[in-house]
A = this chain, B = another copy of it.
Amino acid sequence: MSSIWGNTIKLSVFGESHSRGIGGVIDNLPPGIEIDMDEITFELKRRQTGSSALATARKEPDIPEILSGVVNGKTTGTPLAFVIYNSDQHSKDYDNLKTTARPSHADYTGFLRYKGFNDHRGGGHFSGRLTAPIVFAGAIAKSALKQKGIYTVSRIKSIMDVTDSDWDLSCMTYDKAQEMKKLIIPTADSLAAKRMEEVVLNLKSEGDSAGGVIECAIMNMEKGIGNPIFDAFEARLASLIFSIPATKGLEFGRGFDVTHLKGSEANDPLYTDGENIYTKTNNDGGINGGITNGMPIVFRTAIKPTASISLEQDSVNFVDKTNSKLTVVGRHDACICVRAVSVIDAAAALCAFDYLVEEKMF
């Protein structure tokens, strides 16, 4: 199912960067979920961040039109289809990419996969713009999860060598998480954000780009959720996260770092107040055996530097099979992280929601 994601909630995403529109169909939504268009618009705008100097200059506002599945502001339970029409298109910018591949981009592999019929303009179906439907669906998930006190919070953990300070999730609240969403570079330490911005702007001025690590937590997640063996919570979420362009790594809890700890250090000791059960540490990131344990679900995603840079690069003409030089023109983000953070956040909400709908908790 190439462009459909979800086990119960099925999100079918469509569109190319320069097609008539992009959008999605969300199947199996429970009936009666309130659709908060303000929240959806807010999240789409976060992803878009057209105003920021850090992101690309594409100006068209991402205003979705809902085609079906909503009556009186509530889901009907039948498929919710939505479309965001494309308007601000500079198709000419991409003419040379029809035969010459941007290094580390999908131009060459897309050509292979689609036998030359794919829409190369603006990255086509590979465009980062195709993450907007995920953000849309995530916004609906968040509205629903909020009813149960479940929410997501995300930050940029690092950009290049600038790392944010630790955050204390035990003090996290829904309101704090919402505040972080308003930041261009959401971090625990505002100075870190300032330094990250400098790094990105410097690279931008050089025609270069930066990557980073995004950390996300799902707070107050229901416990006992996840289906071993192959539908472990990590597995289902991973299938979504690794579908987001530029993702090169994913880790849960202590992640790769845990391989430097002894078992006695890595294990999360349990304790109880007689009612609920907790762990003293959260090295496992809220999941054991693929099943949530009630602690925050914490994961980090590695986002590589934007592949499209202004500097001249070695490439090939993949039709003629000749070596060539390539200088990419057009608008590109110097650091995709500042936009990807809203996508990761949406993906986390969507995955949690998918499980909970399956469990008939809505």
Contact = CB atoms under 8 A, between A and B. Distances in A.
Interface of A: 1-5, 7, 10, 12-16, 19-25, 27-28, 31-32, 65-69, 71, 74-81, 83, 101, 103-106, 108-110, 112-119, 124-126, 130, 158-161, 203, 208-213, 223-232, 234-236, 238-243, 245, 247-256, 258-272, 274-275, 277, 279-280, 283-285, 287-293, 302-309, 311, 313-316, 318, 321-323, 359-360
A59 B288 CA distance: 27
B69 A14 contact: yes
Given A1-B27, A10-B1, A259-B158, A112 B269 contact: no
A248 B243 contact: no
Given A224-B112, A229-B243, A101 B248 contact: no
Nearest to A258: B304
B209 A262 contact: yes
Oligomeric state, in number of copies? 4
Contacts of A309: 263-264, 267
Contact of A32 (B20, B117, B314): B117
A169 B231 CA distance: 32
12 contacts: A3-B78, A4-B12, A19-B69, A24-B25, A68-B125, A103-B269, A104-B283, A109-B287, A229-B243, A248-B251, A271-B323, A359-B360
A250 B253 contact: no
B272 A321 contact: yes
B271 A314 contact: yes
A258 B124 CA distance: 25
A1 B125 CA distance: 24
Nearest to A255: B249
